[in-house]
Amino acid sequence: MKRLYVIVILLTAIVLGARAQEQGIRFEQTKEWKKILKKAKKEKKLIFIDCYTSWCGPCKMLSANVFTREDVGNQFNRDFVNVKYDMEKDADGVILKNTFDVKAFPTLVFVDPNTRQVVHKMVGAGSAEWLMEGGKIANDPRNNLSGLTMRYDAGERSVDLLSRYLNALASAYMQEKQGAVAAEYLNALSDDEIVTKENWDLIKKNVSDPLSKPLRQVMANIGRFYEVAGKEVVDYKLEMAIKGAVSEIAYWRPGNGDFDEARNTELVKLLQSLDYAFVPGSLATLFTAEYIRKGDYRGMLNSMREAFKYNVFRGGEDQMYFQNNIEALTGCDDKALVQEGIDWLDARCARTNDYFAKANLMNSKARLLTKNGDTLGADKAKMEEEKYNKEGEKRSGGKAVRAIRMN
CATH number at residue 38: 3.40.30.10
Segment 309-333 shows an average pLDDT of: 93
Which pLDDT tens digit goes with each residue over 6-64? 444 444 444 444 444 568 999 999 999 999 999 999 999 999 999 999 999 999 999 99
Which structural domain range is residue 218 located in? 187-253
Paired sense of beta strands 46-52 and 80-86, if any:
parallel
Q: How far apart are CA 87 and CA 104, in angstroms?
A: 10
pLDDT of 403 above 80: no
User: Among 13-27, 256-270, 340-354, where is mean pLDDT lowest?
Assistant: 13-27
DSSP per-residue codes, 105-120? SSEEEEEETTTTEEEE
pLDDT of the residue at 398? 75
176 lies in some domain: no
Secondary element (H or E) of residue 164: helix 159-171
What is the rounded average pLDDT for all residues in the chain?
Answer: 92
Tell me: the pLDDT tens digits for 60-81?
999 999 999 999 999 999 999 9
Q: Which of 235, 253, 271 is the last residue of a domain?
A: 253
The CA distance from 189 to 406, in Å, is: 41
207 and 118 share one domain: no
The H-assigned helical ranges of 28-124 are: 33-43, 57-61, 70-79, 91-99
Q: Is 152 a domain residue?
A: no
| pLDDT value at residue 407 | 61
d(CA 266, CA 292): 19
Q: Is residue 232 part of a domain?
A: yes
Number of domains in the chain: 2
Do the domain assignments include residue 229?
Answer: yes
Whether 195 and 228 have beta carbons less than 8 Å apart is answered as: yes
Last residue of a domain, one of 210, 231, 253: 253
Q: What integer pLDDT is reported at residue 20 of this predicted model?
A: 43
Q: What is the model's pLDDT at position 256?
A: 85
Beginning with the edge strand found earlier in the chain, give each strand of the sheet holding 117-123 in spatial order: 80-86, 46-52, 107-112, 117-123
Question: Which amino acid is residue 284, in one-letter code?
Answer: A
- The angle that helices 317-326 and 355-371 make with each other, rounded to 10 degrees, is 10
* Region of poorest pLDDT, from 112-121, 183-192, 311-320: 311-320
Confidence (pLDDT) at 253 = 83
Q: What is the pLDDT of residue 287?
A: 97
135 with 47, same domain: the answer is yes
How much is the pTM? 0.78
Is 203 part of any domain? yes
192 lies in the same domain as 122: no
What does the pLDDT look like over 136-156, one tens digit per residue? Answer: 999 999 999 999 999 999 999
- Whether residue 195 is found in the same domain as residue 112: no
Residue 282 included in any domain: no
Residue 324 scores a pLDDT above 70: yes
Q: Is residue 388 part of a domain?
A: no
Residues 110 and 38 grouped into a single domain: yes
Is 61 part of a structural domain of the chain?
yes
Answer with the one of 228, 253, 278 that is the final residue of a domain. Answer: 253
Lowest mean pLDDT among 14-23, 199-208, 282-291: 14-23
109 & 193 share domain: no
